[in-house]
Chains A and B, each alone.
Chain A
């Protein structure tokens, strides 16, 4: 017993510099993320500022009711999940693909150019993106209606009144904005791969395609899985700007653009009830958390090394 204790003590002593290094980061997490979690209680309260946050009355699940009571509940849940699923699948595929292509290119100057160009959309805010989209799609002055469609002999389209185009537009805009980011992340992973693997593979006569399939992809799988899990955890959230500002809050498009975040925003715009918005946030977090635990469990079954925890 005492020997074991001695061992543990030794081990802790050995690792103490590492724990010490973690201190600032952990303190930060505590302050920025864990202390504010008491705010979760707000979701179960009828907030009255005269009584203060602590003194306000509890009201059970009352604040959550508006999320489920309306006929839109199904629509917004479906939209949120389907869009996010599409974003994850398409974003990951294109991101990995682009990173692999970039890695192939020998000309340093070209790499630099492509990378900068791809990252450009990532640099701007969604409000600006919404103006860009507007300059393309505006009924009266948009580039599509004024230049492209006439050239193709197609009648002008009233983009902001036609819900059927928006799934494509939103997926495209999201991809356009995010590709630079995911590409950079994956490229960093690819460059980190030991070159000896490729050299060995080439000696064995493996084609480029085989190298990509057998070396690159398996070796960047951990980072792909991590990115994926993070996205899954946020599957009930959506980029507010993308779904609100880019479609210009156009009512006619709601069937394909209303998601949980925009629904909550519109619902509470008039009421300004922080209890209800906290309830919506908590609901999104909990669902995301459960999904991540489940998918982590699945990954763990499949390959233990790739699991996150």
Chain B
């Protein structure tokens, strides 16, 4: 898939709960968004921040073809992302995009479970739309520490049934996503994005029920295009770049220990 370096104009910057925000952007030159697969990411330049040198990899939250908008769900994790979250409508952000391989969707059938935690929920919104458009029964399982940190639940509900787990029991099932009652049901495929311990737990559940499972990793990276070899993950094929071979991996490609 061809990669572009493009300026985007911020149309909306919506504050979500906790340390999260949602930027909605459109190409500054008025062009149509390039073809984007669910699960791909962008490398955003952080201009005007005193301490930020490298671009920030941010997963694509949603592609709105009607408004020609690209959505980025961002967690304030330091100076770079804080600066991005302070963007105002009209500001221009430069992006290298779209990067990485998306979630495989063509061969998916039946009932699918999309498991997200924290900012890892981000790529699942667009994924759910694509899967639902393909006629699948889409179900979300979203985890958070507490009710206030649940992100974009109303948006997710447009594309599927939403199940929730919170550590403190303030919404949905109490406990971790891996303890949610949805695991009593049979799924045809699982997609997951979130903190590493959560993804490892979901991978364990998937293996137990012999369900195919894809996870999206967020290893720290510099270039995003397979040149710097910094974001490697150990796989059955040795160390590979998450930016070009991933960020989505089938769990049996990984060397995660049970």
The answer to whether A and B belong to the same complex is no
Chain A residues close to B by CB (< 8 Å):
none
